[in-house]
Amino acid sequence: MSELGWIEPAINAARPQAMGALLRYFRDLDTAEEAFQDACLRALKNWPKNGPPRDPAAWLIMVGRNAAIDAVRKKSRLTSLPEEDQLSDLGDAEGAAVTALDEGDYRDDVLRLMFICCHPDLPSTQQIALALRIVSGLSVPRIARAFLVGESAMEQRITRAKAKIAAAGVAFETPGAVERAERLAAVAAMLYLVFNEGYTGPGGETDARGSLCDEAIRLTRILLQLFPSEPEIMGLLALMLLQHARAAARHDAAGEIVLLDEQDRRLWNRVMIAEGLALIDKAIRHRTRGPYQIQAAIAAMHARAETPEDTDWAQINLLYAALEQETPSPVITLNRAVAVSKAYGAEAALDLIAPLTERLSAYFYFHGARGNFLMQLGRNAEAREAFNKAIALANTPAEAAHIRRHLDQLSAPKK
């Protein structure tokens, strides 16, 4: 790491806590951001000289708060507060700031900061952009690159989102247990949006997008450290880790998606898998199931299988059935049908998806999966019909090409 390379991670790590506390203090997002920015500039000046503070978050909160108050005082020609240089042997002053902000405050501060990005009036892309800007502190150009849009368009998007949450107002009272649980659920959903933007968004997994996955994982880890006994947060973090562990195997040299069965499992990230599996073990102990835990458990079944043939499809079928109960959706049933076809044959899978025909008639994957099941049963004419429907509904050239390969297989002369 370069000479001053330690400062950036130190500031990044402290940011959610420091921004959260400054937001509570000033009750205004712009003032909090300016105060934090000011504190960072002073940190860049002060830390190389005096070494890292014992508690960077507390340092940034105190200096940011003083700087913002100072700015107001200067405007009203009052006496200014002491410069942070005079506070630079921060032992005592920092200690005082830490005791003033106990763990519980920090916890709700970070949750509030993340929660304001989840305002239900904001479309998901704005929630993601806002979280990356104010929670993660990514620069606007970097966020714009991740979303494949121009900088000024992204700037406008973020400004509009901020105006919306400012108009809506933010609750600063310490939340009660029910409200805290609701906030956690909303924040979990938002963090998974950030992750998915990196995982599946248009344009594939470029570095700018892949780093969104890393960032979502980092923020979810912070959330779990603040709320260590929440099984669904454990499940969410496990789910992200187990999915992201496959990143290196998910695309071939040409950038095409490689399906799970065909991935080179030696490319899977074993460290992420180990952390994901450890988190699932922890979550299971709580015996309160939830959609993130179940999805993580499904991902874990794949992670545990050394080859595609080792996959325990019967167990995956049961997990999908549990997920259907938690969050009924025809798409989940369709996923379950794939597990059923592997465990019990294509006939059973076709029976399972027959009732979905009407609701999923415009869904690419429905016709693709149905064509596959029919092909396995040798019902080639029906399979061809299904694949043709799928091609007409394909969202990307890659999807269409994938189905075309199946059609070619159907018309190949039998050996």
Partner 1 sequence: MLYALLCYNNEAEVFSWTKEQDDAVMAKLNVVHEKWEKAGKLKPSLRLLPTSAATTLRKKDDVVLDGPYAETKEQLLGFYIIDVSGLEEGLAFARELTAANPGGAYELRPIMLYNPGA
Residues at the contact surface with partner 1, assessed by CB under 8 A? 1, 5-6, 9-10, 12-14, 56, 214, 218, 221-222, 224-225, 228-229, 234, 237, 271, 274-275, 277-279, 281-282, 285
CB of 273 to partner 1, least distance (A): 11
Residue closer to partner 1 by CB (options 105, 382) is 105
Residue closer to partner 1 by CB (options 279, 353) is 279
CB of 266 to partner 1, least distance (A): 17
Residue closer to partner 1 by CB (options 212, 237) is 237
CA dihedral 87, 92, 93, 97 (to 10 degrees): 160
CB of 109 to partner 1, least distance (A): 15
Nearest by Cα to 307 from 248, 245, 260: 260
Identify whether the C-beta of residue 291 lies closer than 8 Å to the C-beta of residue 323.
Answer: yes
The Cβ of residue 345 has, within 10 Å, a number of other Cβ atoms equal to 13
Residue closer to partner 1 by CB (options 70, 109) is 109
CA atoms within 13 A on the CB side of 203: 15
CB of 56 to partner 1, least distance (A): 8
Bridge partners for 257 per DSSP? 251
Identify whether the C-beta of residue 369 lies closer than 8 Å to the C-beta of residue 400.
Answer: no
Residue closer to partner 1 by CB (options 276, 371) is 276
**What is the DSSP code string of 217-247?**
HHHHHHHHHHSTT-HHHHHHHHHHHHHHTTG
CB of 124 to partner 1, least distance (A): 25
**What is the DSSP code string of 74-139?**
HHTTPPPPPPTTTT-STHHHHHHHHHHS-HHHHHHHHHHHHHGGG-TTS-HHHHHHHIIIIIS---
Residue closer to partner 1 by CB (options 173, 306) is 306
CB of 276 to partner 1, least distance (A): 9
